[in-house]
Amino acid sequence: MEKDEAQKLYELCYMRVYSYVLTLTRDRSSAEELTQETFYRAMTAKKPFRGESGEVTWLCAIAKNLFFDETRKRGREQPLPEGDAPSGEDLQQSVADADDAFRVHKAMHELNEPYREVFEMRVFGELSFRQIGAIFGKTENWARVTYHRARLKIQERMGERDL
């Protein structure tokens, strides 16, 4: 990527990418670092932007992958907390919650794009429908409809497994 082109991309997209990353990290310092790393990766990528999606969508996808990589890395490095063992009821609830979460993620994994990404941005990224629409270069209403369709598809798939 040429220097002028990279500078324009940075100026046009920085705040939108930073806002998205901030919703993921919930920490300004981490969001700034991750946003900088996102632009660095985008500008030094062996595979340049192909134009198959919007530039902001491409950058947010890079940021999301970096965030998940960092989260996994931190998860492996964190020691187990010391303290009391959970009670039987707490453990049972924890297992039930984990099972439900697994079922939701499995159903979500089977979704086609853009349903899966819109659902993740709304639920995990806590983005507004206006922000999601902007990332995709679509309207707020498009984001709202896509999210609700994704939610219905997940509910249908989870219902099928309960039979």
How many separate domains does the chain show?
2
User: What pLDDT is attached to residue 143?
Assistant: 92
User: What pLDDT is attached to residue 94?
Assistant: 45
Q: How far is CA 138 from CA 7, 41, 72, 142, 149, in A?
A: 25, 26, 31, 6, 16
User: What pLDDT is attached to residue 76?
Assistant: 60
**Average confidence (pLDDT) per 10 residues, the chain, 163 residues:** 77 85 83 90 75 78 88 64 46 53 73 84 81 90 92 80 46
17 and 55 assigned to the same domain: yes
- Tell if the pTM clears 0.95, that is, is over it: no
**Calpha distance 69→66 (Å, rounded):** 5
Last residue of a domain, one of 43, 78, 113: 78
Q: What is the CATH number of the domain that holds 151?
A: 1.10.10.10
